[in-house]
């Protein structure tokens, strides 16, 4: 089921980009939302640490102006998947925190709007960091969307 969903997600993403490109060429209004945030934490042996936790043992959040924790919607599908987090990044809600068990990691996610395209709203990731280091982008599995990977040492 997950594979079918991810293939559908890939088709939808391609459709968005096809629509985006053709619309901008015609100077019509167009819109490309930021890609969904997909993240995994791996150890130095490239094994997913998230597989050790149930979804209820994981928290994804940011701190509001009064330092209160504000939860970010996510699902655990072997990795963290969130449609909400990229939009929060656009709004300037950084850093994010990912708590797994008793360990809290810091995520820095920068999504920007490309304003070079006339009459278009297109959003892209400019940076994803994990505990102060750039996250790796894993695109090796063609059946999954690209996954940002943080290595926990």
Domain range for 67 is 2-151
Backbone angles phi and psi of 14, in degrees to 5: -60, -40
Backbone angles phi and psi of 12, in degrees to 5: -65, -45
Tokens 């998947």 correspond to: 81
Sites in the chain below the pLDDT cut of 70: 1-29, 140
pTM for the model stands at 0.75
DSSP assignment of 42-107, as one string?
E-TTS-BSGGGS-GGGEEEEEE-TTS-EEE---EESSSEEESHHHHHHHTT---EEEEETTEEEEE
Looking at the 3D structure of the chain, how many domains does it have?
Answer: 1
């Amino acid at each position: 089921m997950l594979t079918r969903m991810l293939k559908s997600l890939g088709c939808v993403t391609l459709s968005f980009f096809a629509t985006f490109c053709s619309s901008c060429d015609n100077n019509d209004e167009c819109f490309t939302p930021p890609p969904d945030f997909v993240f995994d934490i791996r150890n130095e042996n490239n094994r997913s640490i998230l597989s050790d936790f149930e979804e209820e043992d994981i928290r994804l959040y940011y701190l509001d102006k009064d330092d209160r924790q504000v939860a970010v919607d996510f699902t655990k599908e072997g990795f963290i998947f969130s449609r909400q987090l990229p939009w929060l990044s656009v709004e300037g809600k950084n850093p994010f925190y990912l708590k797994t068990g008793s360990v809290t990691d810091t995520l820095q996610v920068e999504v920007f709007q490309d304003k070079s395209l006339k009459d278009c709203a297109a959003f892209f990731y400019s940076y994803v960091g994990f505990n102060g280091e750039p996250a790796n982008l894993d695109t090796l599995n063609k059946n999954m969307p690209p996954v940002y990977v943080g290595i926990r040492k």
